[in-house]
Amino acid sequence: MIQKTKSLLAVLLGIVWVLSATVAVAPAADPLPSWNEGNAKQSILAFVKKVTTPNAPAFVPPEKRIATFDNDGTLWAEKPMYFQLFFALDRVKALAPQHPEWKDKEPFASLLKGDVKQAMAGGMKSILEIVMATHAGMTTTQFEKIVKDWIATARHPQTKRLYIEMVYQPMLELLAFLRANGFKTFIVSGGGIEFMRPWTEAVYGIPPEQVVGSSIKTKFEIRDAVPVLVRLPKIDFIDDKEGKPVGINAHIGRRPIAAFGNSDGDLQMLQWTTAGQGLRLALLVHHTDAKREFAYDKGAENALKEADAKNWIIVNMKDDWKVIYPSEK
Amino acid sequence: MIQKTKSLLAVLLGIVWVLSATVAVAPAADPLPSWNEGNAKQSILAFVKKVTTPNAPAFVPPEKRIATFDNDGTLWAEKPMYFQLFFALDRVKALAPQHPEWKDKEPFASLLKGDVKQAMAGGMKSILEIVMATHAGMTTTQFEKIVKDWIATARHPQTKRLYIEMVYQPMLELLAFLRANGFKTFIVSGGGIEFMRPWTEAVYGIPPEQVVGSSIKTKFEIRDAVPVLVRLPKIDFIDDKEGKPVGINAHIGRRPIAAFGNSDGDLQMLQWTTAGQGLRLALLVHHTDAKREFAYDKGAENALKEADAKNWIIVNMKDDWKVIYPSEK
C-alpha cells in the first residue's frame, strides 16, 4: 500500500512540476518595485542573475553568496547625527537622577542643558565618555531590554517618525531579493552590535548572528546563582574603515561577493569585497535628496571618488529611488 | 489560462499533501543509528521532539533553535594532545630552515630535537611562542592554504588516520539530525577559529560563519595594490571557560537552547545555555572507552560533577556509541 501510494505521489509530483513550469512563464513581479529603471537597478539584477544561473561562468554556489550591508546611511538614515547617539543622549537624561555629579561634569553637564554641540566639543573623548556611561555597567539582557524599549518609542527630532520607520524601502526590497536568490545577508556597521541586534531581525530580516558591529568587552559572572554577561566600559572592537574587513573575517570567515555602503567608513569593505576572485558587486548609496531625505557628500568623498574610478554602482537616491521610507509606498 | 493552471495546481498540491501524510505513517528511519538505545539517545530525541512540535508548551521557533558544540573531545578526538598542537609542531619543522636561530632557542630547540615534553616545560608561555611563530606573520589567505594542505595529509601518530577521520560518527549524525529539525549548528571551541574554518563545512556541515573560536588579531593592509588581512602575533580572544559565553554572545548574539561539550572548558557554556528560559539541553561526552578511543576524566572533573548534580546528559562513549569513527560503520 505504501509503495503504491509513493508511486502515485511521484506521478502527481511530476505533474505539479510541469504545471509549475507553465505558471512560471507568466511575467515575474518586479522584485525591486521602489527602484526606478536605470543603471543601478539593472546592474543589481544582472549581477544576481549571473551569479545564480547554474553553469554560467560567474555562478556562485549558495553557501558563498555572502552580502554585507553597512547600516547608518545605507539601510537607515544617519542625520542630523547617528541614531545611536540620540539613544545615548536619551539614556544620559534617564540616568541623570542617579548621577548628581553629572551636573558639573562635562560632557554630561552640557548635554543635560540641551547643548549637544558643546557636549560634543571634546570630540571622540566626549563621545566615548557618553557611550560608556550609557552602554556599560549592566548585563547584556538588561541592555537588550533598554534598546528594545527605546527603539519602540523614540522619535526622530525632525521627521517625528520612529527611527525604525526611517529605513530605506528600496534597500528592504534589495535585502529580500538577495535572500530569495540564496544570499545570506549581513550587517557590517560601525554602530554598536548590541544596539542593532534587538531589532534587525524584525526590521531587516537579519538575525542577530548575522550582525557585525562595534563592541565593548563583556565578562561572564555568576550573580546569585544566575550566570550573566556584564557589559564593561572597555572598547573591544571598532567596526569601521580598516576594521570592517577585519570584522567580516572575524565573524563571517569568508569574503562577501557583494557589499553595500555609503561612506568612507565602508571603503575598505568594498575594496576587500571586490578584490576577491570572480564577479563581485560593490554599491554606494549617494545621499542626493535634500527634499525627501538629506543631501551630503561629507565623509563619503574618498568612497565616491574610488567608486567612480572603479565603476562601482552609485545609487543616486533622488533619481534611483521612487520612495525613500516604507510609509511613502 | 494561467489562472486555470494555477487552480489545477492548487488541487493537485492538495492531493500530494494528503498522500504525503499517508506516506509519513511508515516508520521513519533511525536518525541516530550509531547511538545505542539508552538514556542519552532517548533524551536527545525527546528534547528535539518537544521543541519542534507546534503548539507544544516547549515549542521553539526555528530561528531560535541554536545549538553550540565544543570541538576538541566533543566532535573529534583530542589525545594525546590537541590536534592543533600537532599542526603547530609540524609548522615549526617546516619553518626551521628559515629560522636558524631556533636551534639554540627554547622551546624550538627541544621541539626540533623531537623532545615535545621538554619544549612544553615552559607551559603556556612556550605554547604561545610556538603558536605565534606558526600562526602569525602571513595573510589570512596564506594561512587558510597552509591549514588545508596540512589537514588533507597529516596523520595521527597513534592511529595513523587523517585527523579529520577521527571525528565522532555519532556526533556527525547528531549534527545532521538537529539541522534536519531546523537547528542552526555552531562550533564554539577553544581551538583557533581560522584553524577550524577551512575544513568544518566539508567535515561537519558547519560553515565558516558558524564557527566561534580563539583568535589572534588581524590587520587590513594594501600590499602591491591588493587588500590583504595580515595575521599579527597578538592574542585577540581566548574562547575557553568564561570566554565561551562571551564568544557566543559576540558571534551569535542569542543564547543556545542546546550545548554540547566534554570538559571543564565547556562548563560555563553549559551553565549559560541552561540558564535560559524554557526547555534546554546540556550534554557532556564522557571519554570512557580506552579501547576504541581514550579514557580520561582529567580536565573534566568539575563539568562531570555539575552535570551529575544538574541531571545533564552524560554520554558514556563505551556504552552509548556503537561506533566511534566513521570508518567503523
Cα nearest neighbour of B194 on chain A: A253
Q: How many Cβ atoms are within 10 Å of A37's Cβ, its own excluded? A: 10
- E strand residue ranges, B193-325: 211-223, 226-237, 258-261, 281-288, 295-296, 313-316
User: Is residue A287 pLDDT above 70, yes or no?
Assistant: yes
**CB-CB contact of A172 with A260 (8 Å):** no
- The contacts of residue A318 (CB under 8 Å, 6+ apart) are A288, A289, A291, A292
Start-to-end CA span in chain A (Å): 54
Please report, as a single letter, which amino acid is at residue B293: E
Residue that the C-alpha cell 536619551 belongs to: A90
**Interface contact B227-A245, CB threshold 8 A:** yes
Interface test with A, best of B19, B199, B209, B236 (most A CBs within 10 A): B209
Rounded to a whole number, what is the distance in Å from the CA of B83 to chain A's nearest CA?
21
- The contacts of residue B72 (CB under 8 Å, 6+ apart) are B78, B82, B83, B84, B189, B190, B191
* Cβ neighbours of B236 in A, within 8 Å: 250
Rounded to a whole number, what is the distance in Å from the CA of A317 to chain B's nearest CA?
29
Q: Residue A35 forms beta bridges with which residues?
A: A321
- E strand residue ranges, A11-99: 66-69
Of A9, A23, A254, the CB nearest to B16: A9
Q: Residue B72 forms beta bridges with which residues?
A: B76
Rounded to a whole number, what is the distance in Å from the CA of A16 to chain B's nearest CA?
6
* Cβ neighbours of A245 in B, within 8 Å: 220, 227, 229
pLDDT of residue A12: 52
**CB-CB contact of A259 with A266 (8 Å):** yes
**Interface contact B218-A246, CB threshold 8 A:** yes
**CB-CB contact of A228 with A221 (8 Å):** yes
Please report, as a single letter, which amino acid is at residue A161: R
Q: CA-CA distance, A47 to A70, in Å (whole number)?
A: 19
Pairing of strands A226-237, A281-288: unpaired
pLDDT of residue B108: 96
Whether B291 contacts chain A with CB within 8 A: no
**CB-CB contact of A185 with A175 (8 Å):** yes
Please return the burial class of B132, using the count of CB atoms within 10 Å of its CB with bins 0-12, 13-18 and 19+: middle
What are the φ and ψ backbone dihedral angles of A78, each rounded to 5 degrees?
A: -140, 15
**Interface contact A229-B246, CB threshold 8 A:** yes
* Cβ neighbours of B193 in A, within 8 Å: 250, 253
Crossing angle of the two packed helices B140-151 and B83-95, in degrees rounded to 10: 110
Q: Of A72-76, A318-322, B44-48, B119-123, where does mean pLDDT reach its minimum?
A: B119-123
Nearest to B213 by CA among B242, B195, B198, B191: B191
Whether A64 contacts chain B with CB within 8 A: no
**CB-CB contact of B183 with B233 (8 Å):** no
**pTM, full prediction:** 0.91
Q: How many Cβ atoms are within 10 Å of A137's Cβ, its own excluded? A: 14
The string of pLDDT tens digits covering residues A223-266 is: 999 999 999 999 999 999 999 999 999 999 999 999 999 999 99
Mean pLDDT to the nearest integer, A70-82: 97
Please report, as a single letter, which amino acid is at residue B54: P
pLDDT of residue A253: 98
DSSP secondary structure letter of residue B72: B
Residue that the C-alpha cell 560553515 belongs to: B207
Band the pLDDT of A27: cuts 50, 70, 90. low
Residue that the C-alpha cell 584553524 belongs to: B195
**Interface contact B201-A63, CB threshold 8 A:** yes
Which helix or strand (DSSP H or E) is residue A233 part of? strand A226-237
Please report, as a single letter, which amino acid is at residue B295: A
Of A209, A222, A226, the CB nearest to B251: A209
Which helix or strand (DSSP H or E) is residue B179 part of? helix B169-180
pLDDT of residue B1: 42
* Cα angle, residue A95 at apex, residues A92 and A99 outer, rounded to 5°: 100
Rounded to a whole number, what is the distance in Å from the CA of B19 to chain A's nearest CA?
7
Nearest to B247 by CA among B281, B213, B272, B223: B213
The string of pLDDT tens digits covering residues A85-140 is: 999 999 999 999 999 999 999 999 999 998 988 998 888 889 889 999 999 999 99
Nearest to B244 by CA among B281, B204, B213, B285: B213
Q: Residue B261 forms beta bridges with which residues?
A: B284
pLDDT of residue B120: 87
- The contacts of residue B1 (CB under 8 Å, 6+ apart) are none
* Cβ neighbours of B242 in A, within 8 Å: 219-220
Q: CA-CA distance, A135 to A151, in Å (whole number)?
A: 15
In B, residues 221-280, which contact A (CB 8 Å cutoff)? 222, 226-227, 229, 236, 242-243, 245-246, 249-254, 268, 271-272, 275
Of A12, A207, A222, the CB nearest to B16: A12
Q: Of A32-46, A186-200, A267-281, B14-28, where does mean pLDDT reach its minimum?
A: B14-28
What are the φ and ψ backbone dihedral angles of A90, each rounded to 5 degrees?
A: -60, -35
- The contacts of residue A113 (CB under 8 Å, 6+ apart) are none
Interface test with A, best of B18, B234, B249, B269 (most A CBs within 10 A): B249
**Interface contact B249-A218, CB threshold 8 A:** yes
Band the pLDDT of A25: cuts 50, 70, 90. low
* Cα angle, residue A58 at apex, residues A52 and A63 outer, rounded to 5°: 50
**Interface contact A250-B218, CB threshold 8 A:** yes
Q: CA-CA distance, B287 to B304, in Å (whole number)?
A: 11
Q: How many Cβ atoms are within 10 Å of A80's Cβ, its own excluded? A: 12
Of A2, A211, A268, the CB nearest to B26: A2
Q: CA-CA distance, A325 to A173, in Å (whole number)?
A: 12
pLDDT of residue B186: 99
**CB-CB contact of A312 with A283 (8 Å):** yes
Of B207, B218, B249, the CB nearest to A63: B207
**Interface contact B245-A220, CB threshold 8 A:** yes
**Interface contact B5-A23, CB threshold 8 A:** yes
**CB-CB contact of A287 with A73 (8 Å):** yes
Rounded to a whole number, what is the distance in Å from the CA of B276 to chain A's nearest CA?
9
Mean pLDDT to the nearest integer, A211-230: 97
Which helix or strand (DSSP H or E) is residue A217 part of? strand A211-223
Whether B202 contacts chain A with CB within 8 A: no
- E strand residue ranges, chain B: 66-69, 184-192, 211-223, 226-237, 258-261, 281-288, 295-296, 313-316
Whether A218 contacts chain B with CB within 8 A: yes
Nearest to B259 by CA among B238, B276, B236, B235: B276
Cα nearest neighbour of B221 on chain A: A242
**CB-CB contact of A51 with A59 (8 Å):** yes
Cα nearest neighbour of B62 on chain A: A207
Rounded to a whole number, what is the distance in Å from the CA of B61 to chain A's nearest CA?
13
Residues of chain B with pLDDT below 50 are: 1-3, 18-19, 21-22, 24
Question: For residue B317, what are the CA distances in angstroms to B40, B300, B308?
Answer: 10, 14, 16
**Interface contact A275-B2, CB threshold 8 A:** no
Cα radius of gyration rounded to whole Å, chain A: 23
pLDDT of residue A28: 74
**CB-CB contact of A76 with A167 (8 Å):** yes
Pairing of strands A258-261, A281-288: parallel
**CB-CB contact of A220 with A227 (8 Å):** yes
- How many CB pairs below 8 Å do chains A and B form together? 123
Rounded to a whole number, what is the distance in Å from the CA of B23 to chain A's nearest CA?
6
Rounded to a whole number, what is the distance in Å from the CA of A226 to chain B's nearest CA?
7
**Interface contact B245-A227, CB threshold 8 A:** yes
Query: What dihedral do alpha carbons A96, A98, A102, A108 form, nearest 10°?
Result: -40
The string of pLDDT tens digits covering residues A140-176 is: 999 999 999 999 999 999 999 999 999 999 999 999 9
